[in-house]
């Protein structure tokens, strides 16, 4: 893990321990931290991240087929399957005695179950955060899947992810998002997935 991500994690741990409300400043740290967890502990700028993320919508795959890398990046968004605000709200339920290790494990587990998804900008405009998390993508008519490789200018092999119920957080009163067979998309992401056991701190 890069040292900046570790510092951001410790800041989020401090925010949760002090029960700091979710604000734009918290959101910025949440975004970069989740992006680092999604990509094996390394942060990538948005343009590069969208060029290597293998979890994408069907429409994004179709856009890839007729775009070069720059055009694809311009026409897509790296979207959080489980909204950042919902993630932070779940961590707040851990209480002010939450350990740093609990925060690390939460990010690792959540990003493995709910990976970042590349969607088109038009799809992103249709997504609603006021719906239960499991309903966001179906309500917007967005199909999520994985590709084996980023093939700009040609149609990639796109495989849909299968839904099976909902993620149940530690606090059953907090809704989760759809669990899209984590073992299935982890296998497809390969080097783009990791767990808490992969963390190393100096």
With b for 16 or more beta-carbon neighbours within 10 A and e for fewer, the 60-71 pattern comes to: bbebbeebeeee
**Rounded Cα–Cα distance for residues 24 and 26 (Å):** 5
Which pLDDT belongs to residue 140?
A: 96
Q: Are 15 and 98 in contact (CB under 8 A)?
A: no
Which pLDDT belongs to residue 173?
A: 34
Which pLDDT belongs to residue 98?
A: 96
Edge to edge, the sheet with strand 76-80 lists 76-80, 116-120, 55-57, 144-147, 158-160
**Rounded Cα–Cα distance for residues 147 and 55 (Å):** 7
Q: Are 88 and 22 in contact (CB under 8 A)?
A: yes
Each of the 202 residues of the chain gets a pLDDT tens digit; together they read 789 999 999 999 999 999 999 999 999 999 999 999 999 888 998 889 999 999 999 999 999 999 999 999 999 999 999 999 999 999 999 999 999 999 999 999 999 989 999 999 999 999 998 888 789 999 999 999 999 999 999 999 999 987 543 333 333 333 333 334 433 433 333 333 333 333 443 3
Q: Are 158 and 145 in contact (CB under 8 A)?
A: yes
**Rounded Cα–Cα distance for residues 84 and 69 (Å):** 27
Which residue's structure tokens are 């321990």? Answer: 17
**Rounded Cα–Cα distance for residues 186 and 201 (Å):** 24
Which residue's structure tokens are 């990046």? Answer: 73
Closest CA to 155 of 65, 73, 67: 65
Quote the tokens at residue 147: 């590709």
Closest CA to 55 of 161, 134, 138, 153: 161
**Rounded Cα–Cα distance for residues 111 and 40 (Å):** 10
**Rounded Cα–Cα distance for residues 30 and 12 (Å):** 8
Which pLDDT belongs to residue 163?
A: 58
Tally of CA atoms within 13 A in the half-sphere of 152 that contains its CB: 12
């Amino acid at each position: 893990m890069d040292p900046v991500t570790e510092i951001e994690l410790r800041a989020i741990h401090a925010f949760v321990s002090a029960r700091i409300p979710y604000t734009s400043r918290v959101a910025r740290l949440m975004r970069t931290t989740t992006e680092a967890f999604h990509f094996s502990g390394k942060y990538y700028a948005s343009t590069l991240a969208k060029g290597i993320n293998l979890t994408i919508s069907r429409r994004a795959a179709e856009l890839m087929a007729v775009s070069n890398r720059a055009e694809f990046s311009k026409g897509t968004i790296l979207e959080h399957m489980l909204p950042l605000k919902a993630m932070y709200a779940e961590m707040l339920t851990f209480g002010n005695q939450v350990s740093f290790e609990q925060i690390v494990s939460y990010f690792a587990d959540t990003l493995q179950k709910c990976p970042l998804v590349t969607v088109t900008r038009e799809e992103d405009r249709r997504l609603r955060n006021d719906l239960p998390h499991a309903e966001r993508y179906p309500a917007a008519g967005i199909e999520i899947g994985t590709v084996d490789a980023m093939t700009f200018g040609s149609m990639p092999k796109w495989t849909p992810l299968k839904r099976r119920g909902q993620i149940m957080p530690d606090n059953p009163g907090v809704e989760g998002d759809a669990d899209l067979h984590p073992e299935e998309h982890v296998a497809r992401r390969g080097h783009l997935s990791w767990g808490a056991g992969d963390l190393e701190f100096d």
